[in-house]
């Protein structure tokens, strides 16, 4: 059994600021909003595939929103092509960030991904709630680290890399923007 150890907010901020190449954009807000922070490892590929995006990627209210489902919607396009032919839901620069991470992807530089519980519940075998009903296999939502997670998932789907454990920070209770 793995123990959950509470991370001190200032310790986490210091460790993130010292990482080479880490973009410390949303992390400080998330760290401040959470009551409890836990460092966890997502060691199972199916858990990673079923993380949910809190951001609309292709269409507003598009469901399901798991990484796996989003990447499979790319079909024969690249993230770079979406920069020019971007769906109305995101600006071209948003897709460019995914393409850059895809082009330069390195598992050793991935993370941490900030995750929080999905909205919804399971009762008597039925999924209820905003996020859980359309994505019944999900348990966690990505609050920060989505671009890199999409780049990794794209490479996994294209069979250009194999899944490796992903460092994550679990935010409790749920934190949204």
The domain tally of the chain equals 1
Examine residue 101 and state whether it is found in any structural domain, yes or no. Answer: yes
Cβ-based burial of 57 (10 A; exposed 0-12, middle 13-18, buried ≥19): buried
Alpha-carbon dihedral sign for residues 77, 83, 88, 90? positive
Examine residue 127 and state whether it is found in any structural domain, yes or no. Answer: yes
CA distance 13 to 34: 13
Examine residue 1 and state whether it is found in any structural domain, yes or no. Answer: no
Examine residue 30 and state whether it is found in any structural domain, yes or no. Answer: yes
The single-letter DSSP state of residue 69 is H
Q: pLDDT at position 20, please?
A: 79
pTM score: 0.90
Q: pLDDT at position 129, please?
A: 66
Examine residue 4 and state whether it is found in any structural domain, yes or no. Answer: no
Q: Are 49 and 57 in contact (CB under 8 A)?
A: no
Phi, psi of 28 (to 5 degrees): -60, -45
Closest CA to 149 of 104, 98, 78, 108: 98
Examine residue 40 and state whether it is found in any structural domain, yes or no. Answer: yes
Token pair of 5 as six digits: 């150890």
Examine residue 156 and state whether it is found in any structural domain, yes or no. Answer: yes
Q: Are 137 and 157 in contact (CB under 8 A)?
A: no
Instruction: Please name every residue paired with 171 in a beta bridge, in sequence order, or none if there are none.
Output: 37
Strand, coil or helix: 13 = helix
Examine residue 27 and state whether it is found in any structural domain, yes or no. Answer: yes
pLDDT 10s per residue in the chain (177 long)? 567 889 999 999 999 988 877 776 788 899 999 999 999 999 999 999 999 998 889 888 877 889 999 999 988 889 999 888 877 789 889 999 999 999 999 999 888 999 999 877 667 666 666 666 667 778 899 999 999 999 999 999 999 999 999 999 999 998 877
Q: pLDDT at position 175, please?
A: 84
Largest CA distance in the chain: 48
For residue 122, the enclosing domain spans: 9-172
Q: pLDDT at position 127, please?
A: 63
Q: pLDDT at position 144, please?
A: 92
Q: Are 28 and 13 in contact (CB under 8 A)?
A: yes
């Amino acid at each position: 059994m793995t123990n959950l150890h509470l991370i001190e907010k200032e310790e986490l901020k210091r460790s993130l600021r010292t990482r080479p190449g880490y973009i410390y954009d949303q992390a400080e807000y998330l760290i401040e909003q959470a009551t409890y922070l836990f460092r966890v490892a997502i060691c199972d590929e199916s858990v990673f595939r079923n993380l949910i995006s809190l951001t609309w990627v292709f269409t507003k209210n598009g469901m399901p929103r798991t990484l796996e489902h989003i990447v499979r919607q790319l079909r024969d396009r690249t993230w770079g092509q979406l920069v020019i032919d971007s769906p109305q839901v995101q600006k071209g620069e948003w897709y460019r960030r995914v393409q850059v991470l895809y082009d330069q992807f390195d598992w050793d530089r991935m993370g941490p991904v900030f995750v929080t519980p999905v909205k919804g519940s399971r009762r008597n075998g039925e999924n209820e709630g905003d996020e859980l009903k359309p994505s019944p296999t999900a348990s966690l939502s990505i609050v920060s680290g989505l671009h890199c997670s999409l780049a990794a998932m794209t490479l996994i789907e294209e069979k250009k890399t194999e899944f490796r454990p992903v460092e994550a920070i679990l935010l409790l209770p749920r934190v949204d923007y």
